Copies of this chain bind each other. A is one copy, B any other.
Amino acid sequence: MGIEVDGAPEQGIPEEADRVLRQIEGRRKKYRRNLLISFAVLITLLVTAMIVLKLDFSFMMKWLPFILAGSGYTFLVSVLAITLACILAVVGALGRMSSNPVFNAVATSYVSLIRGTPLLVQVYMWYLALPQIGKALEELGLHGVQAWLTLPAVPAGILALGVCYGAYMTETVRAGIQSIKIGQTEAAMALGMTRGQTMKRVIFPQALRVIIPPVSNEFIAMIKDSSLVSLMGVWELSYRAVKIGRRHFQSLEMLIMVALIYWLMCILLQFVQERIETHMARGDRRV
């Protein structure tokens, strides 16, 4: 039995271990290589499928710049809507956890009603129903209200998306806040912090770590849902693609193209998301 005396520990790595380590390294490399090959094959398959479909690539290339020009609207609407959604989500989450019955009821109804109805219907409500409410109010004597409530397409779209995603994200934020261990609240309270200070200084910064990944996912989903504003005639990505597709009766080409553009945007955003998550992980066990 190889008891070693107190002193220099055996530092050498035996040849056998070296072989095993090289084996492990080799297996990792091979795995990574095979993974790459598999991806390449899959992309090739995808391209082949497109060729088999006899897609009119020159047509697609011709309209690409025109369609891409719509991505500005897509981005504008998405960014403003997600900002609105984040604000609503935080307020909503506080409401859902509040012991004030009014605040709680409002938040709960908001989440239930919005999550229970299709976004499409909500878009119409912001666009069509709001002016009618304005009209009704005007008849009750409030002059000029209707003009205020008759939202142009882009603001209506931002409101619709923001309010809708805000309801979904309310639950995400609430789950994030509730995932922070009770011990953190207790430690902060024991220092004499008020509930507000505890939330702001201790709980929320930690919950943010948990919340960021699902919120990025929501943002990615929203980029795609923002195509709903095209219903109101905003010339964003989908609108342009659908319009060109209809005009030239090559909808399939345009749909595939716009799908690819969305996909690229999503991959890009996922990359950004990963960077943010890495950055947020700095308080974690060192790597």
Kindly state whether residue A21 has any CB partner on chain B within 8 Å: no
Q: Number of copies of this chain in the oligomer?
A: 2
Q: Are A227 and B118 in contact (CB under 8 A)?
A: yes
Q: Could you tell me the distance between the alpha carbons of A259 and B126 in the complex, rounded to whole angstroms?
A: 14
**B31→A99 contact, CB < 8 A:** yes
Q: Is the Cβ of A106 less than 8 Å from the Cβ of B251? A: no
Q: Is A136 an interface residue (CB 8 A)?
A: yes
Q: Which residues of B contact A125 (CB under 8 A)?
A: 255-256, 259
Name the CB-closest residue of B to A52: B136
Q: Is A2 an interface residue (CB 8 A)?
A: no
Which of A46, A113, A262, A265 is most buried by chain B, counting CB atoms within 10 A of its CB? A113
Known contacts A53-B129, A252-B124; is A118 also within 8 Å of B259 by CB? yes
Contacts of A133 in B (CB 8 A): 49, 52-53
- State which residues 250-266 of A face B: CB under 8 Å: 251-252, 255-256, 258-260, 262-266
Stretch at the interface among A12-20, A34-42, A151-159: A34-42
A255 CB, min distance to chain B CBs, angstroms: 5
Q: In the complex the two chains form, what is the Cα distance from A225 to B118 in whole Å?
A: 7
Q: In the complex, what distance in Å separates the CA atom of A125 from the CA atom of B108?
A: 38
Task: Report A127 CB to chain B, min CB distance, Å.
Answer: 10
Least CB distance, A80 to chain B, in whole angstroms: 20
State the Cβ distance, A215 to closest chain B Cβ, in Å: 15
* Contacting residue for A38 out of B106, B238, B256, CB 8 A: B106
A residues 100-151 in Cβ contact with B at 8 Å: 101-102, 104-106, 108-109, 112-113, 115-122, 124-125, 128-129, 132-133, 136-137
A/B interface sample: 29 pairs, CB < 8 A: A37-B101, A38-B104, A38-B105, A39-B108, A42-B105, A42-B109, A46-B113, A112-B263, A112-B267, A113-B263, A115-B220, A116-B263, A116-B264, A117-B260, A118-B224, A118-B225, A118-B238, A118-B259, A120-B227, A121-B255, A121-B256, A121-B262, A124-B251, A124-B252, A124-B255, A125-B255, A125-B259, A128-B251, A129-B252
List the interface of chain A (C-beta within 8 A of B). Answer: 31, 34-35, 37-39, 41-42, 46, 49, 52-54, 99, 101-102, 104-106, 108-109, 112-113, 115-122, 124-125, 128-129, 132-133, 136-137, 220, 224-225, 227, 238, 251-252, 255-256, 258-260, 262-267, 270
